[in-house]
Chains A and B, each alone.
Chain A
Amino acid sequence: MARPLGESHKRFLQTMMANGIVDGDKARALHRHCCETHGAQYTPDKLDEFIEVINAQLQPMFMQIRKGLSEEDGLQYYALVNMAETDVTRMSADYADNELELFRKTMDLIVDSDNGTASSTDILNCADSLQTKKLKKKETEHVLNRLVQDKWLIEKQGEYSLSTRCIMEMEPYIRRIYQDQVKVCHICHNVALQCQMCENPTCGIKIHTHCVARYFKGRTDPRCPSCEDFWPHEIPEVYRPPSSQ
């Protein structure tokens, strides 16, 4: 029998519902505040155990608080995800059918690219050939803005990529639907979208940008961990969050 939840657990879960995703630091602060607010025993290093108690109760609802690494900055995040795909979950009214079709086409473009991005031009072209209902240019831009605001996509200089929240929730879906296209990172073995690729045609492994930064840190002659060929890409700096100086 799963352990019953206290007010502190419920508060944590409700805040996760309201946020969708929080970074590790915020999750730890939230853990503390929830315990203090409701007079529950607080053990600083036991966040994951605290979440496990919630997850045990969420399981029958096909929901979960998942922990994962961001492709953006390589940091740890926690996201509340849905795992059910039913007639009921498809009634979700956040996006219309053609908006969801646009999102799916955007995913197709992103997964099919070498570096995990899709240009706004290519997405706008898709919008012209939607089966459900065409979207005008203005409407498409509006939908893309909403997808960014709702934390499903990330936009940088007209290039769109899948957000950390999106990948955390959709990873099983991405592995299933795009099994022929999608590669996993050679270093961390998670789905690799925003990444660098070995240019040796017989190798072609992918490594996340943030995994590249950590793996090749301080090496003067970076070589592919699989085929030993020279790694021809720029090695980014290891990302440091502004708070941990």
Chain B
Amino acid sequence: TSQVQRGLARLTPAQVDLKTAEVVQFIFVKDQKKIPIRRADIVKHVVKDYRNIYPEIMKSVGRTLDTVFGLMLKEVDVKNHVYILINKLEPPGGELLNMTPSNPKIGLLFVILGIIFMKGGVVKESMVWNTLKKLRVDPGDRHEDFGDVKKVVTDEFVRQRYLEYVRIPHTEPLEFEFRWGQRADTEVSKVKLLEFMGQLHDQDPQSWTQQYRDATSSQTVPVSQR
């Protein structure tokens, strides 16, 4: 280790900047598919011999993500050091919304998260599949926009941490239930979701008393203001 430390002593600010850039690139690559980022992978693939100054590098990474891109890393698994990249800017509205292309999967995600939220935080999978079938999305069939729907919902959305998909204990045959994942907790505004629900049902969002209370109370602990 003394050899490593001697190496570090010679590390110039320019070299730290270069490592910072590489870590940012790595985070962007992992985020292309919204896969959470593991500290172990950052060290293994990028930081390598500089692991002694990992905290300094990550401080610089955090500063760059914030001051240049308006983004930040959030630790979603403190034990295993797993992070997701989240946005510090408010979702675009008005004209800016029209200039931001959206992925149809966001629509699918809205439907599932919406049902879970409106039903108090947890639903059996059958309720989700039945509702999706009414929307012409069948987990058994290939869908035009989503491909293998069952895989997208129970694998992709789960790995991205939008959803939790867990077995209900003591059920025979096996039954599963859905909850919001940590990414949904940080990324999704319950107030705005409820507003959309109100628009769809032509109903005042406040008429869903319980959900309205939940949405407005959770809004007091935002990811970050500004």
Direct contact between A and B judged by beta carbons closer than 8 A = yes
DSSP class of A's interface residues: helix, strand, loop or mixed? helix
Indicate whether A88 sits within 8 Å of B26 (C-beta atoms), given known contacts A10-B68, A57-B68: yes
Task: Please tell me if the beta carbons of A94 and B32 are within 8 angstroms of each other in the complex.
Answer: yes
Interface stretch, picked from A27-35, A105-113, A118-126, A216-224, is: A27-35
Compute how far the CA of A61 lies from the CA of B87 in the bound complex, rounded to whole angstroms: 18
Interface string of B44-79 (1 = CB under 8 A from A): 011000000000000000001001111000000000
> How many pairs of residues, A versus B, come closer than 8 Å at their CB atoms?
82
**Is residue A18 within 8 Å, beta carbon to beta carbon, of the partner chain?**
yes
- Checking A13, A58, A86 against B25 with a beta-carbon cut-off of 8 angstroms, the contacting residue is A86
How far is B94's CA from A30's CA once the two chains are assembled, in angstroms? 12
B172 sits at the interface (CB 8 A): no
- With an 8 A cutoff between CB atoms, is B174 at the interface? no
CB-based contact B29/A62 at 8 Å:
no
Q: Identify which of B95-103, B118-126, B156-164, B178-186 touches chain A.
A: B95-103
Interface residues on B, range: 20 to 34
Complex Cα spacing A90 to B175, Å: 41
Which of the residues B26, B68, B95, B99 comes within 8 Å of A58, measured between beta carbons? B68
A34: B residues at CB distance < 8 A: 96
* Segment among B1-9, B14-22, B137-145, B216-224 that sits at the interface with chain A: B14-22
Q: A5's contact among B22, B67, B101, by CB below 8 Å, is which?
A: B67
Question: Which residues of the partner chain A approach B17 to less than 8 Å between Cβ atoms?
Answer: 60
Q: A10-B89, A13-B68, A60-B17 are in contact. Are A33 and B100 (CB under 8 A)?
A: no
